[in-house]
Amino acid sequence: MHRPMAVLETPIPDHLRPPIRPAAAVGRFSEKSRSVGLRSEGGLPDGLPDGRRQLRKALLALRELEGAHSGEAIAEVFLHVVDLYGLRHKVGYFTLDNASNNDTMIRAIAEVCKFDPAHRRLRCNGHIINLAVQAFLFGKNKDASDEAIRQTSRLSCKEQEGVSGRAESATAWRQYGALGMLHNLVVWIRSSTQRYQAFLVVAGRMIPQDNSTRWNSWYRMIHVAIALRSELNSFMDDCYSASDIRLDYLHPEHWQELQEIHDFLEPFHEITKDTQWDTSSLDEVICSMDFLVTHYKSATKRFESRIAMVDRIMTSWYKFDDYYMRTDNTPVYAAAILLHPSLRMAHLKEAWKDQSQYVDPAVEAVRGLWEDFRPQQQPESEEDLSAYEAYKKRVYQKSSCHDEFSRFIEGPTLPIGNSSAFSWWLEPTQQTSYPSLYRLAINIFSIPAMSAEAERVFSGARRTISWDRSRLSAQVVEYTECLKHWTKNGLLDGPWVSP
């Protein structure tokens, strides 16, 4: 096991800690670069200084790792931080990317905290969609898609090696058809200040270049290129004599191919944007996945005569389905559907009517979660009651104590407008009608759909550590980022009274 660096031995001072209540902690974690970020997100139904009932979040730490980024090393950092805040007994669910060391980390934490790692390990919806998109763009078959994605990433790096590197990469990119040709054109325009400025004069804006880390970057590049098709064609015509552009000239059939790729990718882009916010919850993940299944089916039928396009679609579908099936291992996904006031059992049966055999196991798995919140009924003595009074008591108790979970999921769906399920469950009416079930619901709808917030923290830290601040210590960077995050999210507004 790799020991984290000495900064771990110096905890954040008490006066710099965020005003977070341990009972509200639900974890979101991301490992990237040379640092580990941990943020807590949870519902605070009471105890807020301003009385608001909303989701609150706080960056708890941003720690640097020493040595290899093994899952055990990350787990050690995680456990150290949650112990500083007294949250070990409240560790919830983990929204992570698909890195293998995250799996190792979850298993190590689960062994210490005594929970089922498969139940608590969720995958970032944005990462799943990105992998499916990458497989569509570059994978030739389901087995070779991962290697193809790695090769395209290496090609992008080689383009930074100068003219010879760009020429070699351009040849390799052309094997991807119109997609690679458009990539080459954008790189070619951007590689010269004169061409860059000349294109701006013609088009009024630049076409964004794809990259291997930014989600939907390929879609954005194609989207803008199609919008600027006439300007780009005019620019290519003016520069056609240049020897390094002729092989990438986009003809009508290439533009048709780009339009088809754009149309296929558009729902993936919409879903990524829709599920990246704090208000997004796991019910949206499952609903979006169900929609993508129908999208794959309709696209396969639409392009059934186009072998190359169908191969792309099927490669993406295989990759997507791999992660879709893994949601069966984590009951909270089905719980988010069943406990959503506008969905409940009715939606699950309708959405899965073609695979109805999965409905009952999903409900039973969620019922297992409910058992941890379900109140235990203690039989009351009827010795001092008459026969009629005892009968009357049993009748009314049975009616009022009907299982909250079954009563809710089998009830009629209710429209909640623009309100979130989280806000709906925090209403006093729901807490009165479902005094135990609402606690499970708050846990479920506090879980983020994506790890986008953690990515934003790392991006913000990169801006903090500019060239003239490169000697900032890891501890100073951590304090700065935590304070920045707490201030931005209103955790330091007004006085805080500890519960």
**Residue type at 365 in one-letter notation:** A
Question: In this structure, are residues 58 and 486 in contact, taking their beta carbons and an 8 Å threshold?
Answer: yes
CA distances 13 to 17, 87, 487, Å, are 7, 17, 16
The confidence score (pLDDT) of residue 381 equals 60
Angle formed at CA 275 by CA 228 and CA 142, multiple of 5 degrees: 75
Beta bridge partners of 94: 121
The confidence score (pLDDT) of residue 55 equals 79
The DSSP bridge pattern shows strands 55-64 and 121-123 to be: unpaired
What is d(CA 490, CA 297) in angstroms, rounded to the nearest whole number? Answer: 45
The confidence score (pLDDT) of residue 45 equals 37
Beta bridge partners of 58: 40
Residue with tokens 């919850």: 281
Q: CB pairs under 8 A, 24+ apart, for 259-263?
A: 259/226, 260/303, 260/309, 261/137, 261/178, 261/179, 261/222, 262/219, 262/222, 262/223, 262/226
Token pair, residue 421, equals: 């399920």
The confidence score (pLDDT) of residue 23 equals 30
Beta bridge partners of 57: 41
What is d(CA 183, CA 181) in angstroms, rounded to the nearest whole number? Answer: 5
Question: In this structure, are residues 202 and 235 in contact, taking their beta carbons and an 8 Å threshold?
Answer: yes
CA distances 199 to 5, 167, 234, 434, Å, are 49, 21, 10, 62
Angle formed at CA 363 by CA 358 and CA 364, multiple of 5 degrees: 100
**Residue type at 96 in one-letter notation:** L
**Residue type at 481 in one-letter notation:** E
Taking only Cα atoms into account, the Rg of the chain, rounded to an integer number of angstroms, comes to 27
Question: In this structure, are residues 138 and 148 in contact, taking their beta carbons and an 8 Å threshold?
Answer: yes
* Calculated CA dihedral for residues 224, 225, 229, 235, nearest 10 degrees: 120
Residue by residue, pLDDT tens for the chain (499 residues) are 333 333 333 444 454 455 443 333 333 344 333 445 555 554 433 333 344 567 788 888 888 888 788 999 999 999 999 999 888 888 999 999 888 899 999 999 999 999 999 999 999 999 999 999 999 998 765 555 555 555 555 555 555 555 555 677 888 888 889 999 999 999 999 988 999 999 999 999 999 999 877 889 999 999 999 999 999 999 999 888 776 788 899 999 999 999 999 999 999 999 999 998 888 899 999 999 999 999 999 999 999 998 889 999 999 999 999 999 999 999 999 999 999 999 999 999 999 998 899 999 999 999 999 999 988 765 556 667 787 777 777 666 654 445 899 999 999 999 998 888 999 999 999 989 999 999 999 999 999 999 888 888 888 888 888 888 888 888 999 999 999 999 988 888 765 554 4
Report if pTM > 0.85. Answer: no
The burial class, CB within 10 Å (0-12 / 13-18 / 19+), for 364 is: exposed
The confidence score (pLDDT) of residue 14 equals 52
Token pair, residue 58, equals: 């706080």
What is d(CA 105, CA 390) in angstroms, rounded to the nearest whole number? Answer: 55
The confidence score (pLDDT) of residue 16 equals 46
The confidence score (pLDDT) of residue 214 equals 81
The DSSP bridge pattern shows strands 35-43 and 27-32 to be: antiparallel
What is d(CA 313, CA 303) in angstroms, rounded to the nearest whole number? Answer: 9
Beta bridge partners of 59: 39
Residues 6+ away with beta carbon under 8 Å from 189? 195, 196, 199, 206, 207, 235
The burial class, CB within 10 Å (0-12 / 13-18 / 19+), for 350 is: exposed
Question: In this structure, are residues 373 and 405 in contact, taking their beta carbons and an 8 Å threshold?
Answer: no
